[in-house]
Amino acid sequence: MGAMEIWINPACSKCRSAISLLDAEGVGYTVRRYLEDVPSEDEIRAVLGRLGLEPWDITRTQEPVAKELGLKDWARDEDSRDRWIRALSEHPKLIQRPIITADDGTALVARTEEAVREAIGHGATSG
């Protein structure tokens, strides 16, 4: 097993495509069904650091729960960062998917084949 991890929702076609591509390339990875194994606020912070993104960058603002929370009206600044991270942890459906964290410490939102291949390039370092 590689140290790559992919956060997926099995109902998501982009997640299934990413898994198929990883399998086809013979890459070792672990699957995290993040709706069941919900990431903590600290884990979300760590992944955001690896992605080089802010929480609002990985938030699915079209989800019904996003509309209920009024996310599109939330400030997108340093003072609001913890509020966004808490929302992602409390409502994991809001997390953009799939997210692949690679062996080299990088991470990508792997919604395209190109992004999955880039993650494989970061993660497929054989020892």
What are the catalytic residues? 12
CA-wise closest residue to 35 among 81, 94, 85? 94
- Sheet containing strand 4-8, edge to edge, reads 29-33, 4-8, 99-101, 107-109
Q: Which helix (H) or strand (E) holds 70?
A: none
CA distance 98 to 78: 25
Q: Is 4 helix (H, G, I), strand (E, B) or coil?
A: strand
